[in-house]
Chains A and B, each alone.
Chain A
Amino acid sequence: MSIDRATIDYVARLARLALTDEERALLTRQLMDILAHFSMLQALDTGAVEPTSDVVGLANVVRDDVPGPCLPRDAVLEAAPEAEAGYVKVPAVIEAESEP
């Protein structure tokens, strides 16, 4: 199975990972090897089998609508790399950088 550069770049973009050229080359090769190995799954017939979508067999686990204690604001803002006036601060989206 082959993965081309455009696909690696697309996946890296979805995952918000900036890759160096070496990383891109290495990851491409490694992912191809891994996926080639994993393609053995196709040999197993699972036509009649449902995908596992929950392990515990529970349903309707809910909580009552009762408000509870919150974290103090300081606890939230202290951990933030940048904060201002009670808000967490991040750089704004720049138009150009969201081009694929």
Chain B
Amino acid sequence: MTPRAAPSGYEIVIGLEIHVQLRTQSKMFCACPTTFGAPPNTQTCPVCLGLPGSLPVLNARAVELGLRTAAALECQIHTRSRFHRKNYYYPDLPKNYQITQYEYKVHPPLATQGGLDLPGEQGEARRVHIRRVHLEEDTARLVHAETGVAPGHSLIDFNRAGVPLMEVVTEPDLRSPSGARLFLGRLRALLQAIEVSTGRMEEGSLRCDANISLRSPGGALGVRTEVKNMNSLRSVERALAYEAARQQAILERGDPVGQETRHWDERRAVTFASRTKEEAQDYRYFPEPDLVPLVVSEGAAAEIRASLPELPEARRRRYVDAYGLPAHDAALMTSSQAMAAFFEETVRRHPHPTGWSETSPGTSTAKVGSWRTCRSPRPIWPSCSTLWTRGRSAAGRPRRSCRRCSTPDACRARSSPPGVSVRSAIRAS
């Protein structure tokens, strides 16, 4: 993707910090369940509450999932890594320290120096480098005064405290808000493909913070701001676009950009400076004495790499090469496990399709909504595996049939797992 130079000639530089809740049954350091949505403070124990005398014990599956991610992102997996204490005070942190992995020359984190390729606008691949992948524990959930409950106070739900978290940090290799969104989407698809995370930003299982700055092409890196509270892929793109424009306006005035943390307000579509003054934090990292080192042998790392399933990028290439699927559709079909499963089931049913109808350019998974299979009594295509959109036809009527069949209202929408709907569609026709 070529860097999009803003009209004034500035280059946007973006790095992302992504927190991923790992798909484990129990928490990082204790056996409390991690199921989402339980009533407050019903999934806690002395360890995740940080009660006096409690001690952490590492979840083997969390390590496995972290290693799997590191392998899928082509990172160097370190033979020996440790956990550290990151010390600061906040009510969502029961012990007032978080057990995490610090990037320290003597004790590296789980994995470093990987990358994920993104297709460029002209089709060339651009590599976004991964600086590190490490494991840590999630904080509790705070409910603030803004929601109207207990004004002047915060309410704490410790269910989330101790949930296993993986942090993926990129180098500042992204060059546009849309590129950041694309990367995040790719990463999410990857994480789903390797069954590490559900990737649901709305549920908080995938969270993203961004660092963004502007510079003259070839010049030094500009002052960066951190942007937080972006709760969907779309927010990420919108927030970064806003912030880039905001920084540009400042620079064009000849003023310096302030290094600060800014929160994205989805409703007002602006970023605003954090109300509490952020001071440079002295986290006093040191090795966690209650945990022992993690040793991953060369053999173990190789085994993990070998056991990876087909990754979205490889799958995309295979769909194009083996089935002649158009590039845009291939990207769509590999954007989630559900999509890929649907496609594979279709191909299994109809190994020799006479062709594929293309989705219109610009179709995204967001527009597709739930799966719909054409149920026209006389389908033109044996499987009508086209994804069709919620959009409106040229005549302004809601679409219910695939474009090829175009028998208005003859199709009944069915949202169900793709494989099932294909089978029922075949049975019905």
CB pair B25–A71 under 8 Å, yes or no, is no
Which of A53, A60, A93, A100 is close to B294, meaning CB atoms less than 8 Å apart? A60
B60 partner residues in chain A, CB cutoff 8 A: 62-65
Report A's interface with B, CB cutoff 8 A.
Answer: 14, 16, 51, 53-54, 56, 58-71, 73, 76-77, 84-93, 95, 98-100
Closest B residue to A60 using CB positions: B295
Contact status of A89 and B58, CB under 8 A, knowing A66-B26, A95-B276: no
A91 partner residues in chain B, CB cutoff 8 A: 152-154
Which of A62, A69, A86 is close to B59, meaning CB atoms less than 8 Å apart? A62
Contact status of A65 and B284, CB under 8 A, knowing A59-B294, A76-B41, A89-B153: no
B419 interfacial by beta-carbon distance below 8 Å: no
8 Å CB interface, B35-54 against A:
39-46, 49
B45 partner residues in chain A, CB cutoff 8 A: 68-71
CA distance A51 to B89 in the complex (A): 27
CB distance from B334 to the nearest CB of A (A): 28
B293 partner residues in chain A, CB cutoff 8 A: 53-54, 59-60
CB pair B153–A92 under 8 Å, yes or no, is yes
8 Å CB interface, B275-318 against A:
275-277, 279, 282, 284, 287, 289, 291-295
B275 partner residues in chain A, CB cutoff 8 A: 95
30 A–B pairs (Cβ distance < 8 Å), ordered by A = A14-B282, A53-B107, A53-B287, A54-B293, A60-B292, A60-B294, A62-B57, A62-B60, A64-B61, A65-B24, A65-B61, A65-B62, A67-B26, A68-B26, A68-B31, A69-B31, A70-B32, A70-B33, A73-B41, A85-B149, A87-B143, A87-B155, A88-B41, A88-B155, A88-B156, A90-B153, A90-B156, A91-B154, A98-B276, A99-B277
CA distance A36 to B354 in the complex (A): 85
In the complex, per-residue mask of B62-105: 1 if CB is within 8 Å of any chain A CB, else 0: 11000000000000000010100001010100000000000000
Report B's interface with A, CB cutoff 8 A.
Answer: 24-26, 30-34, 39-46, 49, 57-63, 80, 82, 87, 89, 91, 106-107, 143-145, 149-150, 152-158, 275-277, 279, 282, 284, 287, 289, 291-295
CA distance A78 to B373 in the complex (A): 54
A98 partner residues in chain B, CB cutoff 8 A: 276-277, 279
CB distance from B12 to the nearest CB of A (A): 31
CB distance from A30 to the nearest CB of B (A): 21
CB distance from A33 to the nearest CB of B (A): 23
Closest B residue to A64 using CB positions: B60
Closest A residue to B31 using CB positions: A68
CA distance A63 to B60 in the complex (A): 6
Which of B25, B63, B155 is close to A62, meaning CB atoms less than 8 Å apart? B63
Which of A62, A67, A88 is close to B58, meaning CB atoms less than 8 Å apart? A62
Can you add 6 more A-B contacts, CB < 8 Å, to A16-B89, A69-B31, A73-B39? A53-B107, A65-B61, A66-B31, A67-B26, A67-B33, A68-B31
CB distance from A58 to the nearest CB of B (A): 4
B32 partner residues in chain A, CB cutoff 8 A: 67-68, 70
Closest B residue to A88 using CB positions: B156
CB pair B277–A87 under 8 Å, yes or no, is no
CB distance from A77 to the nearest CB of B (A): 7
CB pair B292–A87 under 8 Å, yes or no, is no
CB distance from A10 to the nearest CB of B (A): 8
CB pair A61–B57 under 8 Å, yes or no, is yes
CA distance A59 to B81 in the complex (A): 10
CA distance A66 to B62 in the complex (A): 12
Which of B107, B150, B279 is close to A89, meaning CB atoms less than 8 Å apart? B150
CB pair B292–A14 under 8 Å, yes or no, is no
A65 partner residues in chain B, CB cutoff 8 A: 24-26, 59-62
A86 partner residues in chain B, CB cutoff 8 A: 39-41, 157
A64 partner residues in chain B, CB cutoff 8 A: 60-61
CB distance from A7 to the nearest CB of B (A): 12
A54 partner residues in chain B, CB cutoff 8 A: 287, 289, 292-293
B30 partner residues in chain A, CB cutoff 8 A: 68
